Amino acid sequence: MSSAAAHAEHDHAHDHAHHAHHDEGFIKKYLWSTDHKMIAMQYLFTGMAMALIGGFTVYAFRMQLAFPGMSVPGYGRVTATDYNALVTTHGSVMIFWVAMPVLIAALGNYLIPLMIGCDDMVFPRLNRLSYQLFLLSSIVLIASFYVPGGAFGGAWTSYPPLSAKAEYSLTGLGSSLWLFAVALEFAAFLLGGINFITTVMNSRAPGMKMFDVPIVVWMIIIASILFMASVGPLIAGAVMLLFDQQLGTGFFDPAKGGDPVLWQHLFWFFGHPEVYVVLLPAMGIVAEIITVFSRKKLFAYKTVLYTAIGTGVLSFFVWAHHQFIAGIDPRMANVFSVTTLLISIPVAEMVFVYIGTLYGGSIRLTTPMLWALAFIAEFLLGGVTGIFLGASGADIYFHDTYFVIAHFHYTFFPIAFIGSFAAITYWFPKMFGKMMNETWGKVHFWGTIIPFNAIFIPLFLLGARGDHRRIYDYRHFPDLMKSGMQDLRVFATLALLVLLAFQVVFLVNLFYSIFRGEKASANPWNANTLEWQAPSPPPHGNFPQGLPNVYRGPYEYSHPDRQDDYWPQTEPDAAKS
Amino acid sequence: MIRPIATTREMTGMPTGRLAVWWLIASEIVIFGGVLGSYLMHRIGHKEWAAASAHTNTWAGAFNTLVLLTSSLSAVLAHNAALRKDGKRAAKLLWFTILGGGIFLVVKSIEWTGEIKAGYTITANNFWSFYYTAAGLHGLHVIAGMIVMMFVAADAAKGKELQRVENAGLYWHFVDLVWIFLFPLLYIAK
Amino acid sequence: MIDQYVESASTFSGDIDNVIWIILLITGFWFILAEVVFFGLIFKFLAKPGVKAKYVSGEKPHEKRWVTLPHYATLAFDVAIIVLAIKVWHDVKINLPEADSTVRVISQQWAWTFVHPGPDNKLDTPDDISTVDELHVEKDKTYHFELTSRDVLHSFSVPVFRLKQDAIPGRIIKGWFKATQTGQYDIQCTEICGIGHGIMPARIIIETPAQHRIWNQSNAPKVADVTPTTPPTQLGGMP
């Protein structure tokens, strides 16, 4: 870039800083902002609030499972109808209104402009609109709890004919509101994705080539592309399901020539890539943290990138492993079993690369590092238990049992919660200009990880012993009330109560530190990536000293030619400075 | 709101607005792909749909195809005018494109009114369910395109944001292309 | 292993258990190894004063080896597992051995209707026996089941057989099983089907030939009295 252009950008940055000094009203600053950092906070806090709903629903239904028929404190009696609505809400909220907004929207919005060295997203007003659509989707979902008939209870997978006809679901209005909420959420993320992808493609700092981009940014972009490529057929399906619900069409009604299994294909064609949509950003977060806190270059950056892309592409060819016994042609099951087991290879490779990054490191077990390491340890178990389900012959037994639930919680909980806690504790100083309390951070960590395992290991055992899903009272099944089984259910529930209690520690630490935490410097972790060159927190426009240029990749830690064990991307080479 | 520096950078060599429209089109291709894919799977399994689709008005469909193609032509001419910095001409040609969209919608309304009166409603059978859903979704995109072009034309007439003429045109070509697929699938394949 | 907790009562339940056991051995081994290496590296390379970390790009061949070798090992074991799993899948879901008898399984919101062929061993004859929530079969006989639904998706699951198949309205899906021991066991619905999904348990009653003959005789509608639409007979219903 010519020096004249560089000067023009520099001056423009001064203009930005100048504007930031003007007082912004409360509304403009907090509710109507187009600044990517504020929009990120909106997504983050909305996502955390929705996590409270996700947590409350699981509290209620697990209490019912542990103490069936008894009134649950803070909820009341959980009827069969309540139970189905609670599990549906839990699943839908955790995936669409917690994992996606926190990992993709909040972190993507916050980090991308900072990490690629520019002053905002390319379309700030579209960004604001995306959040508003998302907020509307949350409101529509919550509204569905209060309409006649109550919340939709057909599971987050919403299979017709149950979800298509009010006479079957008994929640005519709730079903359509749920569907509408999901559709709005999809629209918000589609728009957000276009913003992210365009920004990373076009607005990188001068000197930042493709392989100089931090892995977390790559992962969010690949995830956005995956989302965009996979959600289309489901949007089509959602329109068809809505018409079945409200207009009486028969897209999924066999009596009218429709096919319920079509919905399943449309849903899972999206549903499977979706899990990688949330996994990749979480893995990106882990990459950033383990490099910083082991002071080591990321092992095989290109391998990480290519396996992430490979996983994304392969993820489009595995979807029917959710439908092995659904009535598809059994020969198709063979094809999908093969592709499903093969996808374990790139994912395993990424995990091996992360483990390889630790080799020869100088590891500091800070709170973010503990979370990042825990992600790897726990996700490994989620990954290997997936093999039991991808192998079609074994899946005949495990399908729709608690084994499946335990498997996907060993993947989703690391993704949504361990990943989020890792990200929040790591980037908190940048976001709020304060440090979180390390001791309480570690208390929260152990108080989360230990109970987490105590909840889900019993669920593997219960699933193997026959507990099937979405059942509100196992007392109707003599074979499932054999010795020890109810004890396992109670144990898992008590572990959940401990887990939930320890989240209070996090919330207190978070809010206390925002207001009273120790002041943070620009780069408290001695990290290389560009966001640590901006002040903590960055002002409007991000880089008051001028938008940075980039001279090297993001992971030059412990370079043999340097005294310091880190080398910021924006520091010119000695010869040129 | 001041345009961020981010919006002006062009690491790919393509202006940001155009890059974004291509990604938008990509996401829409998957949506319409899903609708049409589902339709095709059903159609293959239901030979009796040929009888239902015989009642679509092929002449109306053909006329509408011509209308959309012509309007895409005027969109291209609008882009050429914008390249020559002739905002007023670009705006005029955009309005011609919008008119094409309007004619398309009017013809479709007349078509649908007739079909509904004859009892071919969205719930008549699954062929008609797909017909109205697919064409309806397309129609919504026509309306969206028309609204966007109105805003772009208003700016272009004042010589402002001329690069958006091309972007709006790109979107309109996509909408046209979807119709090129819909027309044979819904009207001709009997 | 599973059969320590859930009885293994069909000709293919043992095969399914074997596949599960082998997967457990393979994945368990690699899982434990990976975790041991992982924790080992953490403790070995904890920060020590004055000791700088290594600078390793991971792009050199001798470094990449550490990732590509486990990669190929994963592939090899995946292939082994796929072969075993598909073999079992083929046996249960693609293969359809000749039937000694056929039963019809009709699921609905929220109960199971089982139509047995009766003493003449032919379905759709006047001596068919319809029951609600109780399936009576004979040990060591190969049964075909014809599964359907009257309304939404359900799923016919018999854990002791390790058998599961979704039921779709408007379709009749065929499958098979052969019981290897007598007893009474749970039948579950394993696809969420509305608010009554959890209150449609059923039981499978596996009988000796003699017991089954007696059940057939005492429950078959008398040909002279009734049409095939006899109301269901129930022995010892569910709570």
**Residue located via tokens 């809400």:** A89
Q: Which residues contact C232 (CB under 8 A, 6 or more apart)?
A: C113, C130, C131, C132
Do B11 and A204 lie within an 8 Å CB cutoff?
A: yes
DSSP state of C225: T
Q: By 3-state DSSP, what share of chain A in percent is helix, strand and coil, each rounded to 5? A: 70, 0, 30
Using CA atoms, how far residue A20 sits from A428, A533, C96, in Å, is 22, 19, 74
Cβ density class C22-32: b for 16+ within 10 Å, e for less: bbbebbeebbe
Minimum CA–CA partner of A208 in chain B? B11
Do A228 and B12 lie within an 8 Å CB cutoff?
A: no
Question: By the CB < 8 Å criterion, does A419 face chain B?
Answer: no
Do A236 and B2 lie within an 8 Å CB cutoff?
A: no
Q: Which of C37, C90, C164 to mutate to test the interface with A (most CBs of A within 10 A)?
A: C164
Subunits next to A (3 or more Cβ pairs <8 Å) are: B, C
Question: Got the DSSP string for A528-568?
Answer: -SGGGGS-SS--TTS-TT------S-TT--S-TT-SSS---
pLDDT of C234 > 50? The answer is no
Q: Which residues contact A549 (CB under 8 A, 6 or more apart)?
A: A6, A117, A205, A206, A207, A570, A572
Task: Return the pLDDT at A5.
Answer: 47
Cβ-Cβ contacts under 8 Å between A and B: the total is: 139
Minimum CA–CA partner of A230 in chain B? B30
Do A300 and C58 lie within an 8 Å CB cutoff?
A: yes
Sheet of C183-189, strand order: C134-138, C202-207, C183-189, C154-158, C163-167
Q: Which of B2, B3, B9 to mutate to test the interface with A (most CBs of A within 10 A)?
A: B9
- Inter-residue contact B80 to B156 (CB < 8 Å): no
- Inter-residue contact A254 to C151 (CB < 8 Å): no
CATH class given for the domain over B16-188: mainly alpha
Closest chain A C-alpha to B161 CA, distance in angstroms:
15
Which of B5, B24, B32 is closest, CB to CB, to A194? B24
The arithmetic mean of pLDDT across residues C11-23, rounded, is 97
Minimum CA–CA partner of A232 in chain B? B31
Q: Which of A19, A186, A203, A265 to mutate to test the interface with B (most CBs of B within 10 A)?
A: A203
Which residue has better confidence, C93 or C69? C93
pLDDT of C229 > 70? The answer is no
- Inter-residue contact A359 to A298 (CB < 8 Å): no
- Inter-residue contact A102 to A47 (CB < 8 Å): yes
Report the half-sphere exposure of C163 (CA within 13 A, side-chain side): 27
Task: Return the pLDDT at A167.
Answer: 97
Confidence of residue C227 (pLDDT cuts 50, 70, 90): low
Q: Which residues of A touch C168 (CB under 8 A)?
A: 254, 260-261, 327
Alpha helix positions (H), A414-437: 419-432
Task: Return the pLDDT at C15.
Answer: 97
Minimum CA–CA partner of C197 in chain A? A471
Spatial distance between the Cα atoms of A512 and B190, rounded to a whole number of angstroms: 69
**pLDDT per residue rounded down to tens, chain A (577 residues):** 444 444 445 444 444 444 444 556 888 888 899 999 999 999 999 999 999 999 999 999 999 999 999 999 999 999 999 999 999 999 999 999 999 999 999 999 999 999 999 999 999 999 999 999 999 999 999 999 999 999 999 999 999 999 999 999 999 999 999 999 999 999 999 999 999 999 999 999 999 999 999 999 999 999 999 999 999 999 999 999 999 999 999 999 999 989 999 999 999 999 999 999 999 999 999 999 999 999 999 999 999 999 999 999 999 999 999 999 999 999 999 999 999 999 999 999 999 999 999 999 999 999 999 999 999 999 999 999 999 999 999 999 999 999 999 999 999 999 999 999 999 999 999 999 999 999 999 999 999 999 999 999 999 999 999 999 999 999 999 999 999 999 999 999 999 999 999 999 999 999 999 999 999 999 999 999 999 999 999 999 999 999 999 999 999 999 998 999 999 999 998 654 3
Q: Which residues of A touch B16 (CB under 8 A)?
A: 122, 198, 202-203
Ranges of residues in chain B with a pLDDT under 50 are: none
Closest chain B C-alpha to A255 CA, distance in angstroms:
11
Q: Which residues contact C162 (CB under 8 A, 6 or more apart)?
A: A396, A397, C8, C10, C12, C13, C16, C17
Question: Got the DSSP string for A452-466?
Answer: HHHHHHHHHHHHHTT
Give me the sign of the Cα torsion angle A261, A264, A269, A270. Answer: positive
Task: Return the pLDDT at C231.
Answer: 52
Give percent of chain C with pLDDT exceeding 70.
93
Spatial distance between the Cα atoms of C98 and A169, rounded to a whole number of angstroms: 39
Subunits next to B (3 or more Cβ pairs <8 Å) are: A
Report yes or no on whether pTM surpasses 0.90.
yes
Using CA atoms, how far residue C221 sits from C208, C212, C218, in Å, is 21, 15, 8
Minimum CA–CA partner of B1 in chain A? A34
Q: Which of C192, C203, C206 to mutate to test the interface with A (most CBs of A within 10 A)?
A: C192
Dihedral over alpha carbons B83, B86, B88, B90 (to 10 degrees): -20
Whether the bond into A554 is cis, omega within 30 of 0 = no
Task: Return the pLDDT at A21.
Answer: 44
Spatial distance between the Cα atoms of A72 and A80, rounded to a whole number of angstroms: 14
- Kindly list the domain boundaries of chain B, sorted by start residue: 16-188
Confidence of residue C58 (pLDDT cuts 50, 70, 90): confident
Q: Which residues of B touch A201 (CB under 8 A)?
A: 11-12, 19
Closest chain A C-alpha to B172 CA, distance in angstroms:
18
Task: Return the pLDDT at A23.
Answer: 57
Residue type (1 letter), B99: L
Task: Return the pLDDT at C196.
Answer: 97
The arithmetic mean of pLDDT across residues C12-29, rounded, is 97
Spatial distance between the Cα atoms of A247 and A241, rounded to a whole number of angstroms: 10
Task: Give the three-class secondary structure for C175.
Answer: strand
Closest chain A C-alpha to B177 CA, distance in angstroms:
17
Do A258 and B126 lie within an 8 Å CB cutoff?
A: yes
Which residue has better confidence, C59 or A87? A87
Which A positions 190-229 lie with beta carbon below 8 A of chain B? 190, 193-195, 197-199, 201-204, 228-229
Task: Give the three-class secondary structure for A209.
Answer: coil
Subunits next to C (3 or more Cβ pairs <8 Å) are: A
Across A548-557, C56-65, C130-139, least confident range: C56-65
Report the half-sphere exposure of A551 (CA within 13 A, side-chain side): 13
Do B20 and A237 lie within an 8 Å CB cutoff?
A: no
Which of A296, A373, A464 is closest, CB to CB, to C56? A296
Q: Which residues of A touch C56 (CB under 8 A)?
A: 296-297, 299, 359-360
Give percent of chain C with pLDDT exceeding 90.
83
Do C6 and A330 lie within an 8 Å CB cutoff?
A: no
Question: By the CB < 8 Å criterion, does A362 face chain B?
Answer: no
The arithmetic mean of pLDDT across residues C196-219, rounded, is 96
**Could you tell me the end-to-end alpha-carbon distance of chain A, in angstroms, rounded to an integer?**
17
Q: How far is CA C126 from the centre of its chain?
A: 32
Give the tokens for residue C112: 């199971």
The arithmetic mean of pLDDT across residues C104-114, rounded, is 98
pLDDT of C237 > 70? The answer is no
Task: Return the pLDDT at C228.
Answer: 53
